[in-house]
Amino acid sequence: MKKWIVIHICGMILLCLHSNSFSETGSGMPVKYISSCELDLNNDNKPDIVLLVETTKGRELIVLMRANDGYTTFVLSRGKPNMHLSCHFGKSIKETSAGKGKREGKVYKTPGTYIQLAQPEGASAAYFWNGKGFKEVWTSD
């Protein structure tokens, strides 16, 4: 009996320490939809879906990458307030040279499309598929 109690208590402690054991359920209200677009982000001739939504964790940029058997989900950004989504066609993105120290911004090649989150007259970041995952590039500071 003592052994069973010790095992049970240890299990409860481990469960409480595990970061995924806690959930954030929200209030049951609908997610606030902000904007979306449909764009082939990985150049596989299948349109992918981009969603910017307001959740209990703040604004989230979510990509549903179309696969043969459904979608693969990527959360690209979370908690950047007042950012607005735009979807673009383009072969390259130039990184900002603003920030610490003087340096030239790097130019990144894209598969022909990219996503941008921007604050009005403020910071902006672009996201593109690099063959392995999404790359974030700050385009203005």
Is residue 107 situated within a structural domain? yes
DSSP code, position 30: P
pLDDT of residue 13: 53
Is 85 in contact with 116 (CB distance < 8 Å)? yes
Domains in the chain, number: 1
Kindly tell me if the per-residue pLDDT of 20 is higher than 70.
no
Domain of 60, in residue numbers: 29-140
105 falls within a domain? yes
pLDDT at residue 18, as a whole number: 44
Residues ≥6 apart with Cβ < 8 Å to 61: 50, 51, 52, 75, 76, 77, 78, 83, 85, 115, 117, 127
Provide the percentage of residues in the chain whose pLDDT is more than 90.
55
Summarize the confidence of residues 122-130 as an average pLDDT.
94
Identify the weakest region by mean pLDDT among 7-11, 53-57, 133-137: 7-11
- Structure-model confidence comparison of residues 93 and 3, the more confident one: 93
In a domain, 38, yes or no: yes
Beta bridge partners of 89: 113
In a domain, 16, yes or no: no
The answer to whether residue 41 is domain-embedded is: yes
Kindly state whether residue 9 falls inside one of the protein's structural domains. Answer: no
pLDDT per position as a tens digit, 38-84 = 999 999 999 999 999 988 888 999 999 999 899 999 999 998 888 89
Lowest mean pLDDT among 19-28, 67-76, 114-123, 128-137: 19-28
Strand segments (E) across the chain: 32-39, 48-55, 58-67, 70-78, 84-94, 107-118, 124-129, 134-140
89: left (phi over 0), alpha (psi -120 to 50) or beta: beta
Residue 78 lies in a domain: yes
Give the neighbor-by-neighbor strand order of the sheet with 107-118.
84-94, 107-118, 124-129, 134-140
